[in-house]
């Protein structure tokens, strides 16, 4: 009944609904709601927070002109972040092929204090997994996504998601078991 409040002297047919929020406002609300989980996804794939934030920011910058409220979904944006992270990893791999590795680099004392040894082992083992397995594990166990959400983001079937995760877990447990 609140939406049908009549203005004095105006027929009911002329009373219009309140104006919808502009698309930019909805995009900002969407960004605030999902930014943290998208940055987490990118951090776990890239291993570096600054680059992850850049990837998410680039995705939202590209979405700005194409934003369609109610049509653009979180699954679509996750796929964009996933693809952006893949692009960064490809550029890194290309750059590493051209540069000789420097021996003896170690984490700073601050980093070593913040990240426990067991966590570093898991992250190193995760980094050694094939890309598809790593992505599926990150989305399942770090982002707590369902098979359907992972399948939509990776553009594969749900049954494929389950088998990829099973193989990835087995390989990860094997690698961590060898290091323990």
CB 154 within 8 A of CB 145: no
Residues 6+ apart with CB under 8 A from 39: 49, 52, 53, 56
- Asked if residue 15 has pLDDT above 60, the reply is no
The domains located in the chain, with CATH, are 22-100 (no CATH), 116-180 (1.10.10.10)
> Whole-model pTM above 0.85?
no
Instruction: Indicate the burial class of 43 (C-beta count within 10 angstroms; 0-12, 13-18, 19 or more).
Output: buried
What would the pLDDT profile of 145-156 be if each residue is shown by its tens digit? 899 999 999 999
pLDDT at position 16 = 53
What would the pLDDT profile of 28-65 be if each residue is shown by its tens digit? 888 999 999 999 999 988 888 999 999 999 999 998 87
CB 84 within 8 A of CB 105: no
Measure the CA–CA gap between 116 and 43, rounded to whole angstroms. 17
């Amino acid at each position: 009944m609140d939406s049908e409040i009549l203005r004095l002297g105006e027929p009911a047919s002329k009373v219009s609904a309140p104006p919808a929020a502009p698309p930019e406002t909805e995009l900002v609300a969407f960004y605030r709601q999902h930014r943290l989980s998208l940055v987490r996804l990118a951090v776990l794939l890239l291993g570096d927070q600054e680059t992850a934030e850049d990837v998410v920011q680039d995705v939202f910058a590209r979405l700005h002109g194409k934003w369609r409220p109610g049509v653009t979904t979180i699954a679509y944006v996750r796929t964009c972040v996933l693809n952006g992270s893949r692009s960064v990893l490809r550029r890194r791999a290309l750059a590493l092929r051209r540069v000789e590795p420097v021996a003896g680099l170690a984490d700073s004392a601050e980093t070593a204090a913040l990240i426990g040894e067991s966590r570093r082992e898991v992250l190193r083992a995760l980094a050694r997994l094939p890309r598809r397995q790593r992505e599926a594990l990150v989305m399942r166990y770090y982002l707590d996504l369902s098979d359907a959400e992972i399948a939509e983001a990776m553009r594969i079937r749900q049954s494929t998601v389950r088998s990829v995760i099973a193989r990835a877990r087995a390989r990860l447990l094997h690698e961590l078991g060898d290091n323990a």
